[in-house]
Amino acid sequence: MKILVLNGPNINMLGIREPGIYGKQSFVDLLAVLQATAEAENVEIDQYQSNHEGCLVDKIQQALGVYDGIVINPAAYTHTSVAILDALKAVAIPAVEVHISNVDAREAFRQISYAGLACKHTIKGQGLDGYRQAVVWLKEHI
């Protein structure tokens, strides 16, 4: 099984950006979680992070025929990007949306997820472990 993990804007700033909300673990820690998850679940995981919406759309489109599942944390694009929603719908690869923080307990605008409309499952507020949970969910449901 091959899974593409996509991370949107500012995820590369984990541990620096608002640690009271996103935790003190860094982006390097996230990469380690993904590596450990790949090994434990016997799946292949490729990770891509971008601060640019079009680059994320390109990666989603390029995933067609290559990946069995997508784990996506669109970050700020969660609440604004119809383009990411449309790309996810176009490729129709089973996807799980991940949010490190509990967006339901935050500002009202953060509770709207366009990308989530194209996802089979959403994990919120589980920190970096949410990524592991998303991979396990895809493995069990594909």
pTM for this prediction: 0.93
- Please, what is the end-to-end C-alpha distance for the chain in angstroms? 9
Give the model's pLDDT for residue 124: 96
Among 113, 114, 65, 117, CA closest to 91: 65
The question of whether 52 is a catalytic residue gets the answer no
Give the model's pLDDT for residue 34: 98
Do 119 and 72 contact (CB within 8 A), yes or no?
yes
Amino acid letter, residue 107 = E
Question: In the chain, which residues have pLDDT < 70?
Answer: 105-106, 110
Domains of the chain, first to last? 2-141 (3.40.50.9100)
Among 28, 33, 23, CA closest to 129: 33
| Residue among 22, 77, 114, 131 flagged as catalytic | 22
pLDDT tens column, 87-121:
999 999 999 999 998 877 667 776 789 999 999 99
Give the model's pLDDT for residue 105: 67
Q: Does residue 65 sit in helix, strand or coil? A: coil
The question of whether 99 is a catalytic residue gets the answer yes
Residue 90 host element (H or E): helix 82-91
| Residue among 67, 77, 99, 114 flagged as catalytic | 99
